[in-house]
């Protein structure tokens, strides 16, 4: 139950993520610096299982995770005995999108319920990894902007509603830019409900908003522990790029 979008240019990219969860889940810990295999990365920590759903590293590579097989399959949550969020810390230190794909190809996903994983890096197509519970498929996406969404509630109708909102916003502007994507992640169209990008249901809601900006110099991670409509202040962490021009 999440929505991700991004915009890319020659210098880098910006990645936006609404995390939707049931209200009974524990509150996540905000992003912090971690080091694995000598590689620094920024990631929040899931309050229930200790994994994460989004991370950005010093090489400018970001990975994020959505429940369900969002590209060609259902948005179901069933199956798998291990939290999907525990997969991302293993991928977060990858120095490139190609390295993410290599690690994915060697991973045993049989312990995980279906998911779609996106990996982005500077000046390279995004990789979309789909696991439907029985097979893994790697797609590449080279468009300058893109979005994915998932929901365990009325899966196809929710996806269609959010895609329609995304296309409508894009059509209403001369140019898709970062601020348009910020608006999209705060949208309550067609109404504040399970179908809106900023999601609200009696038992679940959008619980956080992340914005990652990767330039030649640094990776910047903005995070607010609530839906954008709640007006909760966010915080920014910065990580100097490996080999970048400044330390930021």
- The pLDDT assigned to 244 comes to 59
Q: Give the total number of structural domains in the chain.
A: 1
Q: Is residue 135 in some structural domain? A: yes
21-30, 54-63, 79-88, 210-219: the lowest-pLDDT one:
79-88
Written as six digits, the tokens of 43 are 């990631």
Q: How do residues 100-118 score in pLDDT, each as one tens digit?
A: 999 999 999 999 999 999 9
Q: How do residues 122-174 score in pLDDT, each as one tens digit?
A: 999 999 999 999 999 999 999 999 999 999 899 999 999 999 999 999 999 88
- Angstrom CA distances, 12 to 97, 106, 170, 215, stand at 13, 28, 20, 5
* Residues 88 and 51 sit within 8 Å (Cβ to Cβ): yes
> What single DSSP character describes residue 144?
S
Q: Is residue 189 in some structural domain? A: no
Q: Is residue 8 in some structural domain? A: yes
Global pTM?
Answer: 0.93
Domain harbouring 119, CATH code: 3.60.60.10
Q: Is residue 93 in some structural domain? A: yes
d(CA 200, CA 207): 10
Range(s) of the domain holding residue 93: 2-149+205-240
DSSP β-bridge partners for residue 66: 116
């Amino acid at each position: 139950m999440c929505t991700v979008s991004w915009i890319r240019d020659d210098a880098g990219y910006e990645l936006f993520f609404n995390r939707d969860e049931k209200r009974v889940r524990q509150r996540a810990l905000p992003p912090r610096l971690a080091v694995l295999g000598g590689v620094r990365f920024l990631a929040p920590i899931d309050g229930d299982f200790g994994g994460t759903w989004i991370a950005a590293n010093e090489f400018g590579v970001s990975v994020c995770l959505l429940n369900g097989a969002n590209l060609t399959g259902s948005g179901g949550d069933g199956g798998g005995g291990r939290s999907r969020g525990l997969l991302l810390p293993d991928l977060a230190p990858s120095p490139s999108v190609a390295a993410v794909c290599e690690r994915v190809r060697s991973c045993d996903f049989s312990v995980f319920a279906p998911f779609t994983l996106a990996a982005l890096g500077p000046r390279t197509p995004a990789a979309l990894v789909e696991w439907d519970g029985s097979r893994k498929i790697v797609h590449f996406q080279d468009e300058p902007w893109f979005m994915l969404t998932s929901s365990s509630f009325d899966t196809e109708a929710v996806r269609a509603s959010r895609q329609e909102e995304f296309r409508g916003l894009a059509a209403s502007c001369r140019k898709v830019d970062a601020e348009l994507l910020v608006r999209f992640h705060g949208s309550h169209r067609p109404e504040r409900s399970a179908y809106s990008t900023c999601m609200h249901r009696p038992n679940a809601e959008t619980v956080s908003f992340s914005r990652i900006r990767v330039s030649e110099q640094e990776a910047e991670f903005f995070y607010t522990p609530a839906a954008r409509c709640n007006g909760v202040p966010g915080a920014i962490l910065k990580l100097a790029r490996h080999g970048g021009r400044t330390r930021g």
